[in-house]
């Protein structure tokens, strides 16, 4: 199994939310990949361990993308959305992870 052990409490907080968008759905259908919003300081091995722990599936690979927050304005006030980190988690062949409810 894994030689490196992670703090289980941290792994439970690592995955912020699954990303359900048109792009995420296309990637999921094409290459058996699930997309998550994760903590900004999350590492690839931590993300892999978290997904395997929470969903009881085998992970093949993890790719991450840092996304800068957009500058937004509300009247005179200029603000900025938070920076985010996305994780594209590719599952082993035959593994399945259904997050969002299927729309008939």
Q: What residue spans define the domains of the chain?
A: 8-91
What count of other Cβ atoms lies within 10 Å of the Cβ of residue 95?
Answer: 15
Bridge pairing between strands 33-38 and 84-91: antiparallel
Asked which of 31-45, 50-64, 87-101 is least confident by mean pLDDT, the reply is 87-101
Average pLDDT, the chain: 87
pLDDT score for 1 = 46
Name the CATH architecture for the domain at 8-91: 2-Layer Sandwich (3.30)
Q: In what order do the strands lie in the sheet with 59-67?
A: 15-18, 33-38, 84-91, 59-67
Both tokens of 41, joined, read: 């300081």
Query: Has residue 69 got a pLDDT over 70?
Result: yes
What count of other Cβ atoms lies within 10 Å of the Cβ of residue 25?
Answer: 13
Query: Has residue 38 got a pLDDT over 80?
Result: yes
């Amino acid at each position: 199994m894994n030689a490196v052990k992670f703090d289980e409490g941290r792994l439970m907080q690592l995955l912020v939310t699954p990303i359900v968008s048109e792009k995420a759905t296309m990637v999921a259908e094409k290459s058996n990949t699930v997309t998550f919003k994760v903590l900004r300081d999350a590492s690839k091995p931590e993300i892999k361990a978290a997904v395997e722990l929470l969903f009881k599936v085998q992970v093949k690979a993890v790719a991450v993308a840092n996304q800068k927050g957009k500058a937004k304005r509300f009247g005179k006030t200029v603000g900025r959305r938070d920076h985010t980190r996305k994780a594209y988690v590719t599952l082993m062949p035959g593994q399945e992870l259904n997050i969002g409810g299927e729309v008939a």
